[in-house]
Amino acid sequence: MAIVVQKYGGTSVASTERILRAARRVAWKRSQGYDVVVVVSAMGDTTDSLIALAEAINGDAHPSPREMDMLMATGEQVSAALMAMALQRLGVPAVSLTGFQAGFFTDDTHRAARILDVKPDRVRKELEAGRVVVVTGFQGIDAAGDLTTLGRGGSDLTAIALAAALDAEACQIYTDVDGIYTADPRIVPNARRLEEISYEELLEMSSSGAQVMQLRSVEFARQYGVEFEVLSSLSPLPDEGGTEEKKTKVVARVNPQFQRVVTGVAVNSKVARITLLEVPDRPGIAAKLFSAFARNKIVIDDIVQSGGPGATQADISLTVAKDDLDVSLDICREVMQEWPGTQLVYDVDVAKVSIVGSGVASNYGVAATMFTALAERGINIEMITGSEISISCLVRASRAAEAVQAIHEKFGLGDGDQPVAIGTRGGEDAKAGQK
């Protein structure tokens, strides 16, 4: 029988009522002739509460990463067992499995473990015995037999990796929105649901701060060619007349009918900016600085170096995750000892606002439109970076939501909006927000 993997996120299993409702959706899928594997997150904000408990015990000291994983992995075990019970109550044979039982083998990077192998033999056996298999999201086991977790939001990765390992016919990510939107609907109420989005665009949206899918899960999906859907667990159930579910399909290539210049706007408020002023401008300086970051396994978000032609000094600005700020500042202070005169400043009251779209680099006027939207609201741009398919501006954190709204409106991305015309070189004008 064809296998379908369904993942239910924290809000979708936040209460016993929600778990029972999700179980009805699973039962319906099974009644359609599918073998169903369910991946669950911890209930509601359980993971945050567990982290808060650890902080209360540890104070300023860093808790042991191994013990953090022991702690955090419990959240998903609660919801998996309850989901299996909910299914059994509906008369559906079901069994819950931990990440280890489901065959998730990882490295030993606690709190951000990488999947080395998925051997879902037990999952297959249970499916053959006619059971729905409920797997705890977000967790695995390392070579020493210790529990590991896959990074925040990691249940998405569990679902996608299982879909790949089981060669599933479909992978459905159920959350509290019925798809990927042109912007976070909590910030932009008239944001529009996208019918389709490519791995590349979603990768860029995720790395630009759109938290709807875990970044690593999208990377994994692209690498293994796992197409998946994002849907709402809060939408009507099939027996309430909801057989046609609204969704966004995440695909390798977007159907030309849905292609557009700008796909969406994202905001990342979890970044901090560090600037090194008056760094010596000679070969090897950047290599030294960023090698130190690499040795400490710190991921750099964006980098900008400025300094005019012929200058003997330059300024280097970079953004990192706020969580990595303290370690990053220590790294800079250490490296700077060899550069007398260099000064270090940092800022946590910043946010990065980005536009993402496959046509960003190949159309003129995109950057101008974005910057004009900000200028019209008097929002100052403090740093600009870009990639093949995105442009990002650092702004004051207090203006971030307004910046997203202004840019979204300027490009005409919203429901019922008229997409702004953007120029393609030698071609016809394209519509920025075209479906």
Residues flagged as binding site: 7-10, 47, 76, 175-176, 181, 186
Return the one option of ligand ADP, ligand ASP, Mg ion, none that residue 222 interacts with (CB less than 5 to 8 A, by type): none
Span from 45-53, 82-90, 210-218, 350-358 in contact with ligand ADP (CB under 6 A)? 210-218
Answer yes or no whether residue 198 interacts with ligand ADP by CB under 6 A: no
Beta carbon nearer to ligand ADP, 4 or 212: 212
**Rounded Cα distance, 303 and 290, in Å:** 10
Compute the least distance from the CB of residue 170 to ligand ASP, in Å: 19
Closest CA to 286 of 317, 261, 260: 317
Q: Which of 117, 112, 79, 116 is nearest to 98 (CA)?
A: 79
Distance of CA 105 to the CA centre of its chain: 22
Closest by Cα among 163, 61, 80, 146 to 111: 146
Helix 285-295, helix 325-336: angle, nearest 10: 140
Q: Cα–Cα distance between 12 and 79 in angstroms, integer?
A: 11
With CB cut-offs between 5 and 8 Å by kind, which of ligand ASP, Mg ion, ligand ADP, none does residue 138 bind? ligand ASP
Which of 152, 222, 322, 377 touches ligand ASP by CB under 6 A?
152
Cβ closest to Mg ion, residue 153 vs residue 357: 153
For the CB of residue 177, give the shortest distance to Mg ion in the complex, in Å: 11
Question: CB of 97: closest distance to ligand ASP in angstroms?
Answer: 16
Which does residue 154 touch among Mg ion, ligand ADP, ligand ASP, none (CB within 5 to 8 A, set by kind)?
Answer: ligand ASP
Of 153, 154, 264, 433, the one binding Mg ion (CB under 5 A) is 153
Segment interacting with Mg ion (CB under 5 A) among 16-24, 152-160, 218-226, 277-285: 152-160
Q: What are the residues whose beta carbons fall under 8 Å from the beta carbon of 266, sequence distance 6 or more?
A: 183, 184, 205, 208, 209, 210, 353, 354, 356, 404
Instruction: List Cβ neighbours of 58 (8 Å cut-off, separation of 6 or more).
Output: none
Which does residue 137 touch among ligand ADP, Mg ion, ligand ASP, none (CB within 5 to 8 A, set by kind)? ligand ASP
- Whose CA is closest to 156, among 193, 88, 206, 116? 206
Give residues with Cβ within 8 angstroms of 322, minimum separation 6: 270, 271, 272, 348
Among 10, 120, 140, 412, binds ligand ASP (CB under 6 A): 10
Residues binding Mg ion (CB under 5 A) = 9, 153
